[in-house]
Structure 1
Amino acid sequence: MMHLSAYLNYLHHERNLAPTTIKTYQRLLNQAAQQLSDTLITTTALQNYLNQLHQQGLIAQSLNQHRAALKGYFHWRQQQGHHPHNPATNLRIAKVSQHSLPKTLTPEEISELLPTPSENDLLGIRNHAIIELFYATGLRLAELSALNHEQFHTQTTSLRIIGKGNHPRIVHIGDYARTAILRWQNKRPQWAKEDPALFISQRGQRLSHRAIQLALKRHAKIHLTGRNLHPHILRHSFASHLLQSSQDIRGVQEMLGHQQLSTTQIYTHLNHQHLSKIYDQTHPRAKRKPNNT
């Protein structure tokens, strides 16, 4: 697409978007450019492109990302005088279906994930603290990876996080997570005293995003057979369980660092599923399949 480099510079310097967000936009727009290279850019052409992605199996959430990338790019083009109008303004996508809702763990599965590791299991103590912190705060992978050792001390009950788009927020840390982190900190100095990172590798270096993902996957293979574990499942579980307990969607929005309430509202679908399941199982007038006699 024309002027893509200039647009990415605009996202970085004027919109102050996070590098990971900019890379996502770059990837999506490059993909669109390859498919639309010989096509006159119109609303119909862009809608056909999204329809094709849907036919290929992309879920509504992914299609939303594509639409947002196109809409933002052509809005910028219009502002710059390169395009008379924004052809992506009225693009439509399928509604979020039950199949595209984020996967979550049950509270019982969370408990299975978090047995107390032995004093000699240094990696177990580290991974235990990582999982406790993910589930206690709903942090994104990049946010947790960026944490530093000095941010935590015995009395720490909350953290100031700089999230997507350099937007700050406060996350609160419960007793379980704080205890797990302090236990890890008591072991951490034996490995590396110079690196400021809270979570480090066996080489004493800050854990990369990929290293954290692999650590969770290995941990789940041992403690939660049959379930694939990644940071976003813990983030989704945090949000879903908190919303079920508090019914405060605005509070959950703030804790997750969502700029739009509509992003958080997907968890109300999960909550309704939970309530529906309870109703079907317990209410005396709930519809049940008749027994064959």
Structure 2
Amino acid sequence: MPLSQPHIQPFLDYLQFEKRYSQHTLISYQTDLEQFFGFLETEFSETDPATVKATYIRSWLATLKSEELVSRSINRKISTLKSYFKYLLKRGIILQSPMTTISSPKANKRLPSFIEEKGTEQLFNRTATPPNEKETWKQRTDKLILALFYQTGMRLSELIQLKEKHVDFSYGQLKVLGKGNKERIIPVSKELLQELTAYIASKPCRLTDVDVVLVNEKGKALYARYVYNTVKAGLNGVTTLEKKSPHVLRHTFATHLMNNGAELNAVKELLGHSSLAATQVYTHNTIEKLKDVFKKAHPKA
């Protein structure tokens, strides 16, 4: 961080140790703040947060818009500045936040990409090992990765950090550590529980400090990139979606629950959302399904 901004590192420390933000989020905040104060220094010869004006911020946002940055990204940067100046205000470093008159541009709502139920059947049929072939450890791991994503709705970070002690074989559930170190319980099917039991029991020799569920052939914890590529390869043959990521399976988990009558609050808890607003995006797909049923079934449709 630039020495002219001594408050940024304490702010990042606050987000990391008190708010429990992820490393990915911290990097985003740091990047946004570096860009903003770099702009201030270049355009206004200003580096003191106590003298930052709303007009400076609007000028920066206008520059971002002229560079064709999407509204979603601009809103994230506004959120970063709001958090930063709120932090400075609470600590008495500034007397007033310059963000009070800054409004966020309206962003186009992005509907979650998901796989149809027929597509998920194809996915798991494709990854099944033929009866006359011996299943390799990689095949077994890759198949379990896909099953866990689709049947639990876990995030990528939650899956690679899932520990053996968090698998409750008696009650048929998983304890997941989500954003902000918030714990939640996710029930799992008997079939998935059996797969987890067999997988854990037959793990290869491993390092003594590795207690996560999913490991490679050498017994080491999986990297996020490996898991991402596994999902991408699996989805390649069953969908034409441009984005083929673990989050697509998380969206699929939620969408299939909603389409089959699950309550919105229940889906919210299963996904680990902090607010109902984040979960409501899945109701769109439910409404589209209802419209389809109406058109096919109602005489006056």
Interval of TM-score (by shorter of Structure 1 and Structure 2): 0.7 to 0.9
Deviations 1:76-128 (A, max 9, x none): 12222233322234433344435x22211111211111123344233222111
Equivalent residue number for residue 216 of structure 2: 201
TM-score by length of 1: 0.82
Q: Secondary structure at the match of 1:171?
A: strand
Q: Secondary structure at the match of 1:170?
A: strand
> Matched residues in 2 for 1:278 and 1:94: separation?
36
Shift of 1:22: 2.3
Equivalent residue number for residue 236 of structure 1: 251
Question: 150-159 vs 233-242, which deviates more?
Answer: 150-159
- 2:15 matches 1:11: yes
> Matched residues in 2 for 1:20 and 1:85: separation?
29
The alpha-carbon distance between structure 1 residues 64 and 284, as it changes in their structure 2 partners (threshold 3 A), is farther
> Matched residues in 2 for 1:44 and 1:275: separation?
47
Q: Is the 8 A contact 1:163 1:257 kept in 2?
A: yes
> Matched residues in 1 for 2:24 and 2:198: separation?
31
Shift of 1:232: 1.0
The alpha-carbon distance between structure 1 residues 196 and 248, as it changes in their structure 2 partners (threshold 3 A), is same
The alpha-carbon distance between structure 1 residues 162 and 190, as it changes in their structure 2 partners (threshold 3 A), is closer
Which entry has the higher C-alpha Rg, 1 or 2?
2
The alpha-carbon distance between structure 1 residues 165 and 225, as it changes in their structure 2 partners (threshold 3 A), is closer
- 2:125 matches 1:83: no
The alpha-carbon distance between structure 1 residues 149 and 285, as it changes in their structure 2 partners (threshold 3 A), is same
Equivalent residue number for residue 182 of structure 1: 197
Cα RMSD after superposing both structures: 2.8
Structure 2: gaps (5+ residues): 47-51
Shift of 1:141: 0.9
Q: 1:71 aligns with which of 62, 82, 90?
A: 82
Equivalent residue number for residue 117 of structure 1: 129
Code of the residue aligned with 1:42 in structure 2: it is K
TM-score by length of 2: 0.80
Q: Secondary structure at the match of 2:19?
A: coil
The 4+ residue runs of structure 1 with deviation greater than 6 A are: none
How many positions carry a matched residue from both structures? 283
Shift of 1:212: 0.8
Equivalent residue number for residue 290 of structure 1: none
Q: Secondary structure at the match of 1:224?
A: coil
Deviations 1:138-185 (A, max 9, x none): 111111111123433654511222211122221221234323323433
Equivalent residue number for residue 289 of structure 1: none
Code of the residue aligned with 2:112 in structure 1: it is P
Q: 1:141 aligns with which of 147, 152, 156?
A: 156
Structure 1: gaps (5+ residues): 287-293
> Matched residues in 2 for 1:229 and 1:238: separation?
14
The alpha-carbon distance between structure 1 residues 212 and 96, as it changes in their structure 2 partners (threshold 3 A), is same
Shift of 1:249: 2.0
Q: Secondary structure at the match of 1:86?
A: coil
Structure 1 residues 23-62: aligned runs within 5 Å: 23-37=27-41, 38-39=43-44, 41-50=52-61, 52-53=63-64, 56=67, 58-62=69-73
> Matched residues in 1 for 2:38 and 2:295: separation?
49
> Matched residues in 2 for 1:57 and 1:138: separation?
33
